[in-house]
Chains A and B, each alone.
Chain A
Amino acid sequence: AQRVTQPEKLLSVFKGAPVELKCNYSYSGSPELFWYVQYSRQRLQLLLRHISRESIKGFTADLNKGETSFHLKKPFAQEEDSAMYYCALRTDDEKLTFGTGTRLTIIP
């Protein structure tokens, strides 16, 4: 069965410092990985996905199949980055499985 692991429930980073939110997955098929974000009092929304290889709000994530990881990174944290971040895995049968989430707090 597929599984998504986010080892950090809470992460605090100073403004301007680099951010890395960890995500590891286990799945025997071809994975499609995503990062979703939930800002305070807003609905869950897509931040980025590995197939797009894009940078959104300064965030990037690279799929490393050898390490089965999809860590989210940003070189310089901003206060508006404070939110709940979820890593998600889409399997071949199109189920979308989420990790436990990491609450990121940016310290001014």
Chain B
Amino acid sequence: EADIYQTPRYLVIGTGKKITLECSQTMGHDKMYWYQQDPGMELHLIHYSYGVNSTEKGDLSSESTVSRIRTEHFPLTLESARPSHTSQYLCASSYRGRGKAFFGQGTRLTVV
């Protein structure tokens, strides 16, 4: 089924650990996005990609990094997690030239 998937849904991890949040879509979309969202708050764009081997920083500065080696896969990595990284991370995708974005279920990250 065509969809966008994020794993894990929930993650509790200790300070200093390296983590990777997975995002995959099976809709053939070329554009993908990562947003950071605190509960009940606005979504901040932290990374986006136009396609394979394309990654851009978003409006909110983030210590995370992303890669886009395959069209369907857009993982986000934190080399050394800190409590300030505690948040919900939303992945989205869309066709280039079309505004409608599809969102994943999100990953709620807690760094202790």
Interface set of A (CB-CB < 8 Å, partner B): 1, 32, 34, 43-46, 49, 51, 84, 86, 90, 94-101, 103
Q: Please determine whether B31 and A46 come into contact, CB atoms closer than 8 angstroms.
A: no
Q: In the complex, what residue of chain B is closest to A2 when comparing beta carbons?
A: B59
**Interface residues of B, CB < 8 Å — how many?**
25
What are the 3 tightest A-B residue pairs by CB atom distance, in nearest-first order? A100-B42, A98-B43, A90-B99
From B59, B96, B104, contact of A97 by CB (8 A): B59
Q: Please determine whether B42 and A96 come into contact, CB atoms closer than 8 angstroms.
A: no
A45-B103, A96-B45, A96-B99 given; A101·B50 CB < 8 A = no
Chain A interface, >50% SS class: strand
Q: Please determine whether A95 and B58 come into contact, CB atoms closer than 8 angstroms.
A: yes
From B41, B96, B103, contact of A94 by CB (8 A): B96
In the assembly, what is the distance between CA of A32 and CA of B59, in Å? 18
Chain B interface, >50% SS class: loop
Q: Please determine whether A103 and B40 come into contact, CB atoms closer than 8 angstroms.
A: yes
15 contacts between A and B (CB under 8 A): A34-B100, A43-B104, A43-B105, A44-B43, A44-B90, A49-B99, A84-B40, A86-B43, A94-B31, A94-B48, A95-B48, A97-B59, A98-B35, A98-B42, A101-B42
